Amino acid sequence: MKPNLKYLFFSVLTGTFLSLSLPNFFIPFAFLVGFSLWFYLMEKLDIKRVLLYSFLAGFVFSLLSFYWIVFALSYYGGLSISVSSVLFLIFATAFSLYTFVLFTFIAKKFIDRFSTFGFFLLPFLWVFLEFLREFFPFNGFSWNLFGYMLSYINQIAQITYFTSIYGLSFLVVFFSVSFYLMFSRRDYRFVALNIFNIVLFTVLFIWGNSRINSYSDKGEYYKVAVLQGNVDESMKLKPTKEINKKIIDKYLNLLKQAKEKGADVAVLPESALPFFPYVDSSLKYYFFDNFYKIGIPFFSGFDNVLLKEDSEIDKVYNSLFLVDEYGLYVDYYSKIKLVPFGEYTPFKNKFLENIFEYLQGIDFTKGPGQKLLIFEKDNRKEMKVASLICFESIFPDFVANFVKKGANVIINVTNDGWFGKTSAPYQHFEMARVRAIENNVYLIRAANTGISAIVNPVGSIKAYIPLYKEGIIIENVYLTEGKSFFNQHKTFLYTAFVLLFVLLVSFGMFNRKQSNII
């Protein structure tokens, strides 16, 4: 099968335009071109060739959207650029097969069977596959869902209160289908459909703008300080006692500033302080001896090592602790969604460990379950925190289940220093920001090197600290009920979505003659 330069070019453009629609590029509506070229290939080529060109499109998309993985592997994993690049190419291949090729394979079946009508099944198909990514492979990987191609328009992002990010993903594909059919069919009905889409987008924009402008904080609140230490990752990777004391001094100084500025509670990033909470050490004593002079409650991420009776390591958790003003541990939550090949090795064996030294050592243990951390001061209303550690913030269903347990605030702690000055920190932040809208709660985000922020329930950023800048932000964080249409009725939404899809497929099958469908 000889490659066709035209189709090769279209495949590369497909992956390029789709990636340019995501953070931190955010080129408005570039996805319309990307999807249209992809749909063109689906219609014009046989199944074998379209799968090949779709794989190329997905591969290019992965290269442009996830290139930061090479930086993380080489910097964090201590791998050479060449080895990191090979591993990244393996990831790009797997991602393309799992998303682009699988979607194309099923989409081609719909188009061949139902002709034009089959295109209108594709938004449903894409959302199904994105939802599957929340759980598989391994712990799931819901990074760069296509709804984030529209979420940067915060007015449009307001619909995630009802539909979650999956609703925006549906719109992205539906708008793209309509756009492609308008040019490929030259039928007035599809011109009318695109006019309808423009009207729909305009109405959603106006409604979203009204929702944002009409939002006002009310009820009880806490004055929250977010601390961004901006600790260089090299200090964490090759620590010495002197380096660790510098890190502790940095956060003690920020805690002191928070206290002096009247904050009720402070939030530190993931793995912020360089000691284990339940293991005695000189660094631990050094921190608390100085902390007693400050006395402000705080949340902080810790590598949480638990020892056996013989002092051997039993388990290691990635945890978020709540510490009171006296330095006592109130409670902690341990991360559930661990990063595969980062925090644990799914297929742990000596062969892989000998090749990749960073896989050696003890894996983190999955936390026992979702548990709210409760903070209360001066007999005020309790702050009930849904804790999201690192990339737990990218999973819409996981977060909705967490908030539904009674949370009125989300705290997301992370260390995005592994990613450097790439697009990854911007992608990660945008995903976390949308969780605030989906669940109608404030988001407090503390990131080691940024982006730290406080975001209100309509997704507006009240304050933030940019990448690679040390600092502190203090804002009033209001306690909402933590109830949205999505997190309260998501089972109904999922069921209705599936039933509508089944109904449309049944309608298509009932109309045997394709010309009678559209």
* Same domain (yes/no): 238, 122: no
Q: What gap in Å lies between CA 111 and CA 113, rounded to an integer?
A: 5
* Same domain (yes/no): 174, 254: no
SS (H, E, C) 354-413: HHCHHHCCCCCCCCCCCCCEEECCCCCCCEEEEEEEHHHHHCHHHHHHHHCCCCCEEEEE
Beta-carbon contacts of residue 162 (< 8 Å; ≥ 6 apart):
484, 485, 486
Q: Any alpha helices (H) in 186-294, and if so which ranges?
A: 188-214, 233-237, 241-260, 282-291
234-245 in b/e burial notation, b at 16+ Cβ within 10 A? ebbeeeeeebbe
**CATH code for the domain in which residue 382 is found:** 3.60.110.10
The parent domain of residue 321 ranges over 230-483
Q: Indicate the residue type of 195.
A: I
Q: How many CB atoms lie within 10 A of CB 398?
A: 22
* Same domain (yes/no): 117, 259: no
Question: Is there a contact between 177 and 123 (Cβ–Cβ < 8 Å)?
Answer: yes
The answer to whether position 153 is within a domain reads yes
Q: How far is CA 168 from CA 123, 126, 495, in A?
A: 10, 11, 18
Predicted pLDDT at 518: 55
Q: Indicate the residue type of 470.
A: E
| Mean pLDDT of all residues in 116-126 | 96
State pLDDT tens for residues 34-92.
999 999 999 999 999 999 999 999 999 999 999 999 988 887 767 788 888 999 999 99
The answer to whether position 377 is within a domain reads yes
Write the DSSP assignment of 7-42 as a string of letters: HHHHHHHHHHHHHTTSTTT--TTHHHHHHHHHHHHH
The answer to whether position 391 is within a domain reads yes
The answer to whether position 112 is within a domain reads yes
Dig out the tokens for 446 from the structure.
């503390």
The answer to whether position 219 is within a domain reads no
Asked whether the predicted pLDDT for residue 323 surpasses 70, the reply is yes
Question: Is there a contact between 319 and 332 (Cβ–Cβ < 8 Å)?
Answer: yes
* Same domain (yes/no): 365, 420: yes
| Mean pLDDT of all residues in 140-155 | 96
* Same domain (yes/no): 468, 496: no
Predicted pLDDT at 75: 75
* Same domain (yes/no): 191, 257: no
Q: What gap in Å lies between CA 432 and CA 464, rounded to an integer?
A: 13
* Same domain (yes/no): 50, 133: yes
The answer to whether position 223 is within a domain reads no
Predicted pLDDT at 141: 94
* Same domain (yes/no): 468, 495: no
The answer to whether position 222 is within a domain reads no
Beta-carbon contacts of residue 427 (< 8 Å; ≥ 6 apart):
22, 23, 24, 65, 143, 144, 148
Q: pLDDT band at 362, cuts 50/70/90?
A: confident
Reported as half-sphere exposure (CB side, CA atoms, 13 A), residue 56 has a value of 19
* Same domain (yes/no): 457, 495: no
C-alpha torsion sign, points 50, 51, 55, 58: positive
Asked whether the predicted pLDDT for residue 513 surpasses 60, the reply is no
* Same domain (yes/no): 158, 200: yes
Q: What gap in Å lies between CA 503 and CA 509, rounded to an integer?
A: 10
Tell me the pTM.
0.94
Dig out the tokens for 206 from the structure.
């106006």
Predicted pLDDT at 72: 86
Asked whether the predicted pLDDT for residue 450 surpasses 90, the reply is no
Number of domains the chain is built from: 2
Place of tokens 């045997």: 512
State pLDDT tens for residues 165-183.
999 999 999 999 999 999 9
Q: pLDDT band at 342, cuts 50/70/90?
A: confident
* Same domain (yes/no): 181, 235: no
Q: What gap in Å lies between CA 268 and CA 255, rounded to an integer?
A: 9
* Same domain (yes/no): 204, 237: no
| Among the ranges given (70-74, 77-81, 105-109, 222-226), the one the predictor scored with the smallest mean pLDDT | 77-81
Q: How far is CA 227 from CA 231, 292, 468, in A?
A: 11, 18, 13
